[in-house]
Amino acid sequence: MKIYSWNVNGLRAILKKGNLQEFIATEQPDILCLQETKAQQGQAEVDFLEYEELWNSAERAGYSGTAIFTKVKPLSVRYGFPEDITANIAGWEDDFGDARKEGRVLTAEFDGFFLIDTYVPNEKDDLGRLKYRELVWDKALLAYMKQLDAEKPVIVCGDFNVAHEEIDLARPKQNEGHAGFTKEGRQGMTNYLSNGFIDTFRALHPDTIQYSWWSYRGGARAKNVGWRIDYFLASERLRERIIAAEICDEIMGSDHCPIMLELK
């Protein structure tokens, strides 16, 4: 089974360019998780007949949102975080604000695992969302991952908006403390990996320098001045089922490229 994740930075835009259609025809993913769809279901001319569509769109038009296209029928679908998780996060009601309406978490249950598609909030250039990210979001996502993992293994994929280690971005010294490379955001990723989950790409490629996002400015992609901020995390007990974990940086259409996880 091949699962792909891709922040498409606007589903309608990437469909108009034809990149997504070409990608699906060539790669034939069994499951495709998208982030930053920026569309409600029905707004984008999606015509992938082999796939069931699952959507969690933002209430705000043209913003955020997640979607899953799957050939494998899910056993159940869950939207956002459950209330029993958020009720235990201090400051949730005060700090979460409109993020509850941003369509950032979509979960599909399959026979052998739960699959969480997530678009983690950016800390913002002025770090205005840093405390929310650290004290609210990362705690909620980890608690949710652990809750599901008690039932069956979990796979979490998407744009986490953080480079975990210096190897994960081209210019770590210049970006230290900036959005996407703060100690708080990096600690959030460390916390996931300290609680029974693995970074599947690093598990298979411990020393590989490869990126999944590039700024549109200054020809960053052509120069490969990028960041690895898109991840497949998985329950430790899925390690033996992992055949491949790849970054598909040759595929164009967004400022992110797709990533792939193949399971036995």
Which residues, in sequence order, are bridge partners of residue 157?
Answer: 117, 232
- What is the rounded CA–CA span in Å between residue 251 and residue 43? 24
User: What sections of the chain are H helices per DSSP?
Assistant: 11-17, 19-27, 83-86, 92-96, 130-132, 138-149, 172-175, 183-193, 200-204, 220-223
Write out the catalytic residue numbers: 119, 159
CB-count burial class (<10 Å; 0-12, 13-18, 19+) for 30: middle
Which residues are within 8 A (CB) of 205 and not within 5 positions of it... i.e. 6 or more apart?
245
CA 47, chain centre distance (Å)? 23
- What is the rounded CA–CA span in Å between residue 43 and residue 114? 28
